[in-house]
Amino acid sequence: MSPESQGQNEHYLSIAWRGFRTWRGDRPFWAGLFTMLGGLPIMYFPYANMHLGNMTLAMSTTAGAGSLIIGVLLVTLGLTMWFHSIVRVFAGVAAILLALISIPVANIGGFVIGFVFALIGGALSVSWVPGEAPAEGEPAPAAPSEEVPETVSFAKDEPLPEGVLHGAGIPEQQTYDTTVETEGGRHRAG
């Protein structure tokens, strides 16, 4: 190893990739990507022509302008999720509504491809929450270790060590003495 700092020898692509990962983690990246991918087939298919041999199949509909508007709005909402993530809930709800509107307007939502992508992108945007930075003076949370701790058992009357979870969230089992409250084979409630 050389005494040089590791940052000086890094390749510019690894620095760019690390910067992109940081940028991607601060916003609903996948929501924006899925929303934009949903908008593309919705605005493309009404203007596309498919050639089958000598025959041309035109998929254009009378609502081509509506399809174009829905697709452009979905792409715009995806970019909004990326670059203005404070309005992610509004953008997600709008993307879901536009995806639903695209079913009757835009060739069954871009032949279901655009509909599904826009629906997933909108749902991801609504559910995304930014992470919280650790408070100053607090250490960053450590990654969970892969080692499985040994099971420790204690005697019933022995005091338990400090900091051990003692069956947290598990209520104690209550036992009932059924011989005391029997009145001729019937319970007091019956």
* Total residue length of the chain: 190
Q: Is residue 42 within 8 Å of residue 71, measured between CB atoms? A: yes
The CA angle 13-8-24, to the nearest 5 degrees, is 40
The bridge status of strand 55-58 relative to strand 49-52 is: antiparallel
> pLDDT by residue (tens digit) across 4-60?
555 566 788 888 888 888 888 888 999 999 999 999 998 888 777 777 888 877 766
pLDDT averaged over every residue in the chain: 78
User: Is the entire prediction scored with pTM above 0.95?
Assistant: no
Query: Chain-centre distance of CA 117, in angstroms?
Result: 13
